[in-house]
Amino acid sequence: MTERATNQAGAVIYQALKDAGIKVLVYLPDSSCYPIQKRAEDDSEMVAICCAREDEGVAIAGGVAFGGGKAALVVDGSGIGWSAYILSECLQYRLPMLVLCSHSEALGEAREYHNVARVMSEPVLRAARIPYSVLMHVEDAPMMIKQSMRTAIGQKIPVGIVLASCVMED
């Protein structure tokens, strides 16, 4: 992974989040998503909240949604496993939010230590009945993020986007 490629992908994805009206970005530091998280921390127009656990992050983003705000959670895919219960609660309480997580099930996972992250995000989102898409090409990020937020708000539900490793690495 080159720093330049990661920074370009992070910039595109972060700008797409802002363009979709996201005002609060909740995150747990993650090497794959760091370029997005860092931009939130550096942007005085964005409320960036670093949480201690992913499920805590879901609860914070849910609270923002409950209050009428627009929030995104940006975390490692393995943390979605910790978050299944609270994501299901967000469905029940009709709390729209965007969930971006790293590591898709198959494509582009070159590091063995990502084995848990790789197998958690998509199956847990499916089991919790959270609709999601896999972002395979960074140039699709603006449309995918905009449409995912549109669905989240229109349906009053969390919506996920799984970032394939190739998006942040190439």
Q: 131 or 105: whose pLDDT is higher?
A: 131
Rounded to two decimals, what is the model's pTM? 0.91
What's the pLDDT tens digit per position in 32-85?
899 999 999 999 999 999 999 999 999 999 999 999 999 999 998 888 888 999
Domain hosting residue 56, numbered range? 3-169
Q: What is the pLDDT of residues 27-42, one digit of tens each?
A: 999 888 999 999 999 9
Model confidence pLDDT, tens digit, residues 84-110 = 999 999 999 999 999 999 876 666 566
- Give how many domains the chain has, as a whole number: 1
Helix H, strand E, coil C: the string for the chain is CCHHHHHHHHHHHHHHHHHCCCCEEEECCCCCCHHHHHHHHHCCCCEEEECCCHHHHHHHHHHHHHCCCCEEEEECCCHHHHCHHHHHHHHHCCCCEEEEEECCCCCCCCCHHHHHHHHHHHHHHHHCCCCEEEECCHHHHHHHHHHHHHHHHHHCCEEEEEECHHHHHC
**Which CATH number does the domain housing residue 143 bear?**
3.40.50.970
* Average pLDDT for the chain: 89
